C-alpha cells in the first residue's frame, strides 16, 4: 500500500475524492453549511484536473447549470444542504423527466427552513423521496464513514450513468465534518460506468428516448451532431411533448420501473451479527456509528443484538429488510428525525408493532448511551 494514497480528511473531502475518482468534470454550486467544503475543495481540485467549477448565484441556478452540462456529455455534481435542496426540487423533477444523469449531494442539517445550520440532522430522507411533485422514482444513497463516503460517491455516478437518472447523496453534518482515515484506491481498482453514447450516425434519425433491449438509453451530446428536443413535459421517443394517454402512461411506467425493478441491484447495505440476533438495530449515516458501537459493546456481554446498516435509502429495499429481520424478536430504528425510515421498516416486516424508534431531533448527535437507554425501556416492557 502506497502511503501517498492515505489521507486524513473530512467526510466532505472524501466526497470530493470520490467524485474526482468517478470522473467528475463539471461542478456548479452555492456555498451552504455544512456542505461548503465540497465546493471549496472542488474550486481548486477540479480545474487542476481539467474540469470546470462555477459558483452560481443560488441553488436553483446550480441545478440548471449541471443539467445543461450533463446534456453536453459531462459527468456533473452539485452540493448543498436542506434549504438549498428545497430550492432544487423543481429542477430535480426536470432531470428525472428528461432522464439527465447528475449527482446531488445534500449534507443534512436541522430544519425546516433555515433550522439549525451547524448541527446534525437526518430530516431530509422523505424530502429526497417526495420533494419533487408527481409520481416518480429516485435513488438516494448514504454512508457512515469516509471510506464508504468515497465508494458511495463513486457508486452514485455509476448508477446515474447506468439508469440516466439523478442520484441524491444524503450525507449529514457529522459525517461531513469529522476527520478520519481514507485510503484512495488506485486508478482502475473500482469499475467506472461511462456515458453510453449513441452509435447512430450524423444525418440518421436519432431517438433520444428510445430504450435499448437492456433498458439503457444511449445519449448524444447536446450541441453535437444530432438535433433533438429536451423538455420537462411528457414526451415521445423524439423528445417532443405529447399528451397521448398511451405515451404518457408508457413514459411514466418507464421512469418508475427502471429504478423500482432494479431495487436489489441498486441496494447497498452492511450487516453485523444478524445470524443469531434477537434484537436488530437498523440505521444509516452517522447514526449507524453509534448503533454499531452499541452492538460491539453488548455482544460480549451476552446480548444477541445485531446491526443492519442501510446505504441505499431509496428505492427502499423492503424485501432485503424483511429477509434480514425475519427471525428477530424486535427491531429498533436508530435515526435523527421523527421516524422517517422507521415507517419504511414497518412496511417491510411481518410484525410492524415490534419496530421501535431510537432517535434525537434536537441537533445533538445520537450517542450510544441514548440508544442503550431506549433499549432498556423496550426490554422493560417485556418485548
- pTM of the predicted protein model: 0.96
Confidence of residue 204 (pLDDT cuts 50, 70, 90): confident
Query: Helix 36-48 to helix 11-22 angle, to the nearest 10 degrees?
Result: 40
pLDDT of residue 212: 84
How far is it, in rounded angstroms, from Cα 166 to Cα 156?
9
Q: Edge-to-edge, what's the strand order for the sheet holding 330-335?
A: 269-272, 305-310, 279-283, 330-335, 355-359
Residue 230 covered by a domain: no
* Same-domain status, 40 and 154: yes
Residue 199 covered by a domain: no
* Same-domain status, 15 and 122: yes
Structural domain harbouring 375: 270-380
Q: Are strands 312-314 and 139-141 parallel, antiparallel or unpaired?
A: antiparallel
How far is it, in rounded angstroms, from Cα 109 to Cα 119?
6
Please say whether the dihedral angle defined by the alpha carbons of residues 23, 27, 31 and 32, taken in this order, is positive or negative.
negative
| 248-265: pLDDT as tens digits | 999 999 999 999 999 999
Residue 225 covered by a domain: no
* Same-domain status, 43 and 174: yes
Residue 242 covered by a domain: no
- The answer to whether 169 touches 312, Cβ cutoff 8 Å, is no
* Same-domain status, 16 and 153: yes
Residue 81 covered by a domain: yes
Q: What is the grid cell recorded at 53?
A: 467549477
Q: Total domain count for the chain?
A: 2
Q: What is the mean pLDDT of the chain?
A: 96
Structural domain ending residue among the three candidates 141, 163, 183? 183
Residue 45 covered by a domain: yes
Structural domain ending residue among the three candidates 123, 149, 183? 183
Please say whether the dihedral angle defined by the alpha carbons of residues 319, 143, 124 and 231, taken in this order, is positive or negative.
negative
Residue 95 covered by a domain: yes
- Calculate the alpha carbon distances from 382 to 97, 310, 349 in Å: 49, 27, 20
Structural domain ending residue among the three candidates 164, 183, 202? 183
Amino acid at each position: 500500500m502506497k502511503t501517498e494514497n492515505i489521507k486524513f480528511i473530512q467526510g466532505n473531502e472524501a466526497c470530493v475524492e470520490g467524485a474526482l475518482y468517478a470522473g467528475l468534470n463539471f461542478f456548479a454550486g452555492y456555498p451552504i453549511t455544512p456542505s461548503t467544503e465540497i465546493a471549496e475543495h472542488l474550486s481548486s481540485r477540479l480545474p487542476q484536473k481539467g474540469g470546470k467549477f462555477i459558483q452560481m448565484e443560488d441553488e436553483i441556478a446550480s441545478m440548471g447549470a449541471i443539467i445543461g452540462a450533463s446534456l453536453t456529455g459531462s459527468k456533473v455534481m452539485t452540493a448543498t444542504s436542506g434549504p438549498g435542496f428545497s430550492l432544487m426540487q423543481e429542477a430535480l423533477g426536470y432531470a428525472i423527466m428528461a432522464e439527465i444523469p447528475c449527482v446531488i449531494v445534500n449534507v443534512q442539517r436541522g430544519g425546516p427552513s433555515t433550522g439549525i445550520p451547524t448541527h446534525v440532522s437526518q430530516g431530509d430522507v422523505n424530502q429526497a423521496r417526495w420533494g419533487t411533485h408527481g409520481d416518480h422514482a429516485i435513488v438516494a444513497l448514504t454512508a457512515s464513514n469516509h471510506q464508504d463516503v468515497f465508494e458511495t460517491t463513486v457508486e452514485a455516478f455509476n448508477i446515474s450513468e447506468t439508469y440516466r437518472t439523478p442520484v441524491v447523496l444524503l450525507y449529514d453534518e457529522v459525517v461531513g465534518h469529522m476527520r478520519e482515515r481514507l485510503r484512495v484506491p488506485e486508478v482502475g481498482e473500482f469499475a467506472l460506468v461511462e456515458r453510453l453514447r449513441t452509435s447512430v450516425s450524423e444525418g440518421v434519425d436519432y431517438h433520444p428516448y428510445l430504450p435499448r433491449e437492456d433498458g439503457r438509453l444511449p445519449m448524444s451530446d447536446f450541441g453535437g451532431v444530432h438535433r433533438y428536443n429536451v423538455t420537462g413535459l411528457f414526451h415521445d421517443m423524439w423528445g417532443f411533448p405529447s399528451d397521448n394517454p398511451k405515451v404518457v402512461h408508457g413514459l411514466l411506467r418507464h421512469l418508475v420501473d427502471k429504478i423500482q425493478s432494479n431495487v436489489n441491484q441498486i441496494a447497498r447495505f452492511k450487516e453485523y451479527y444478524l445470524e443469531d440476533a434477537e434484537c436488530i438495530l437498523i440505521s444509516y449515516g452517522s447514526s449507524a456509528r453509534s448503533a454499531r458501537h452499541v452492538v460491539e459493546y453488548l455482544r460480549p456481554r451476552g446480548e444477541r443484538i445485531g446491526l443492519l446498516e442501510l446505504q441505499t435509502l431509496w428505492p427502499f429495499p423492503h424485501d432485503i429488510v424483511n429477509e434480514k429481520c425475519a427471525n428477530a424478536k424486535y427491531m429498533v430504528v436508530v435515526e435523527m428525525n421523527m421516524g422517517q425510515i422507521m415507517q419504511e421498516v414497518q412496511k417491510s416486516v411481518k410484525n410492524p408493532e415490534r419496530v421501535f424508534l431510537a432517535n434525537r431531533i434536537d441537533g445533538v448527535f445520537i450517542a450510544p448511551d441514548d440508544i442503550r437507554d431506549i433499549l432498556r425501556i423496550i426490554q422493560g416492557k417485556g418485548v
